[in-house]
Structure 1
Amino acid sequence: MKPVKASAKFACLLAATAVLALAGCTKVNPPGQDTASTSTLQQVLQRGTLRVGDCLTFAPFGFYNKDGQPDGYDVDLAKELAKEMGVKLEVVNTTSANRIPNLQTAKVDVVFCNFTRNLERAKEIAFTTPYVVASEALLVKKSSGIQSAKDMANRTIATVKGSTNGDEVRSMGIPVKIQEYDSSEAAILAVKQGQADAMIEDNNFLAYQAKLDPDLVVTNEALVPLEYNAFGVKAGDQVWLNYLNLFLFNINASKQNAELYKKWFGTDPRYPLNPQF
């Protein structure tokens, strides 16, 4: 084999060095890695409109007011978020069933909608830190003398058809009669009219009902493990998730979230957002 001239070797070395330098200067993002330019955050700022998915059939979290406009606790939070971002707000009426699909198909930028964080949902979307905590309690008349589920022996609990809420009391070994109604409104009316001794439901929802009727009160107990509700976002968008978490940190630290809760539910938040383990 003929020896290679020094000049040829040097030329080959320069070419190899150039290739390595080019590779070193070219940044390759790992598959699925989010960047600020492709984040929903940047898209919302460029669009000038924040699209929030909210359930407008579950007062006082979300509902249509007398003027036909979205209103409620979640809507107030959405207004604060849009204000901080300097964009307009578009509230998209959402159901429990289409919360995740609407995120995955980018019909909305974020979902509030009484969204409980759990591991099954976390396989498909991402959640922020919690902004409200829920459990189940009893709605009773103040004059009933009922202070907890232990006082419900041989009494009647009103529930909504298809709900398993009454089973929580039965699982405590308390003999109760379960009376099912077609709607929450019908179950509440049954308590007001004395057809049932209590109604079992989400404690936040019941707090709102007690605010509307001074003759009603909510028992101070947690009949099921606490549920931590958060904002839902499309998976893989860490920039947007970081922004929303900082927004929640700020409104919680400033007590603004607690003030909005009291505005709509008539009481201070019952459970802390950060559990003690």
Structure 2
Amino acid sequence: MTFVGDKARLACLIAVAGLLALAGCTRIGSTGQGSPEESTLKAVLQRGTLRVGECLSSAPFGFYDKSGNPDGYDVDIAKELASRMGVKLEEINITGANRILNIQTNKVDVVICNFTRNMERAKEVAFTHPYVVAGQALIVRKSSGIKSLKDMSGHTIATVKGSTNGDEVRSLNTQMKIQEYDNSLAAILAVKQGQVDAMLEDTNFLAYQAKLNPELTVTDEAPIPLQYNGFGVRQGDQIWLNYLNEFLFEINASKLNARLYNKWFGVDPRFPLNPQY
């Protein structure tokens, strides 16, 4: 006769045996994105080449120099990453519009392209910690006397067609005239020539333009919320993400990132990499 307690113990032993048999047939960590066998980190080291997606039409982040070679702030960071990994660097020219597609189709191992982190993009790709921060500010002629948006009442401000800057200016409800231009360089030229009094744009881009044009200066305020830019990688590969975050920690702690920023933008980084909550 088998008592109820014996039945319970028997059922428990059978269940445990089943779990052990299943474990014996399953290689833990052998499947799934981010496992050691499938991580991009291991693939790059085995391949001996790091494929980096860079936007090479967005100076000073990325562009082609006079010899036709990639150059710029993002390019220098990619070179440093490849050097520390001990692999060759393959630079793949991409655009802002196809950054996510290049990651999802495995055309690149990582995107380093002034890539702003936000909730919508995080549905499709994973982001590292920030490596550069952008705000929005004004660039004006040094002789203009304009220090902030408060001084712009009755003046004309330049924005780029199709950008969010025009909407941002309108949302501020200030008494400014808005003049739209086809691209950022045309708007900068309008400021230089006195056709408009200021331009609202990404602070990193403006710092570079002020470096190229000594008669211009960038205001200190940041009227628009800051944007935190990171590397973009495929989702689910935590090993690769951890490695890239460690790389960013090291180049930030050593101040190398700050030196590269100063090299390309002519000023020290304006905003801290971590949000001030």
TM-score, normalised on structure 1?
A: 0.90
The count of aligned residue pairs is 263
Whole-angstrom CA distance in 2 between matches of 1:233 and 1:41: 11
Over 3 Å counting, the alpha-carbon distance change for 1:20 and 1:127 in structure 2 is closer
Question: For residues 159-203 of structure 1, what are the alpha-carbon distances to aligned partners after superposition, in whole Å with 9 as ceiling and x for unaligned?
Answer: 112223133233222111111112211111111111010111101
Larger Rg: 1
- Map 1:203-218 to 2 at 5 A: 203-218=203-218
SS at match of 1:200: strand
Work out whether residues 156 and 176 of structure 2, in 8 Å CA contact, stay in contact via their aligned partners in 1: yes
- Map 1:251-262 to 2 at 5 A: 251-262=251-262
Gaps of 5+ in 1: 1-14
Work out whether residues 149 and 169 of structure 1, in 8 Å CA contact, stay in contact via their aligned partners in 2: no
Are 2:220 and 1:220 aligned? yes
SS at match of 1:157: strand
Work out whether residues 141 and 217 of structure 2, in 8 Å CA contact, stay in contact via their aligned partners in 1: yes
In percent, how many aligned pairs have the same letter? Answer: 70
Over 3 Å counting, the alpha-carbon distance change for 1:73 and 1:27 in structure 2 is same
Work out whether residues 138 and 198 of structure 2, in 8 Å CA contact, stay in contact via their aligned partners in 1: yes
Of stretches 23-32 and 34-43 in structure 1, the one that deviates more from structure 2 is 23-32
State the partner residue of 1:76: 76
Aligned-CA RMSD value:
1.9
Work out whether residues 158 and 178 of structure 2, in 8 Å CA contact, stay in contact via their aligned partners in 1: yes
Work out whether residues 157 and 166 of structure 1, in 8 Å CA contact, stay in contact via their aligned partners in 2: no
Shift, 1:59, TM fit: 0.5
Shift, 1:224, TM fit: 1.1
- Give the counterpart letter for 2:176 in structure 1: V
Question: For residues 195-232 of structure 1, what are the alpha-carbon distances to aligned partners after superposition, in whole Å with 9 as ceiling and x for unaligned?
Answer: 01011110100000000111110011112111100000
State the partner residue of 1:159: 159
Shift, 1:24, TM fit: 4.1
Of stretches 146-155 and 171-180 in structure 1, the one that deviates more from structure 2 is 171-180
Whole-angstrom CA distance in 1 between matches of 2:140 and 2:213: 11
TM-score, normalised on structure 2?
A: 0.90
State the partner residue of 2:89: 89
Work out whether residues 161 and 182 of structure 2, in 8 Å CA contact, stay in contact via their aligned partners in 1: yes
Work out whether residues 62 and 75 of structure 1, in 8 Å CA contact, stay in contact via their aligned partners in 2: yes
Question: For residues 49-106 of structure 1, what are the alpha-carbon distances to aligned partners after superposition, in whole Å with 9 as ceiling and x for unaligned?
Answer: 1110011111100111111111100000000000000011111111112111111111
Shift, 1:267, TM fit: 0.5
Whole-angstrom CA distance in 1 between matches of 2:189 and 2:276: 37
State the partner residue of 2:9: none
Whole-angstrom CA distance in 2 between matches of 1:31 and 1:62: 36
- Give the counterpart letter for 2:272 in structure 1: P
- Give the counterpart letter for 2:267 in structure 1: T
Shift, 1:33, TM fit: 4.8
SS at match of 1:113: strand
Of stretches 15-24 and 95-104 in structure 1, the one that deviates more from structure 2 is 15-24
Over 3 Å counting, the alpha-carbon distance change for 1:275 and 1:18 in structure 2 is closer
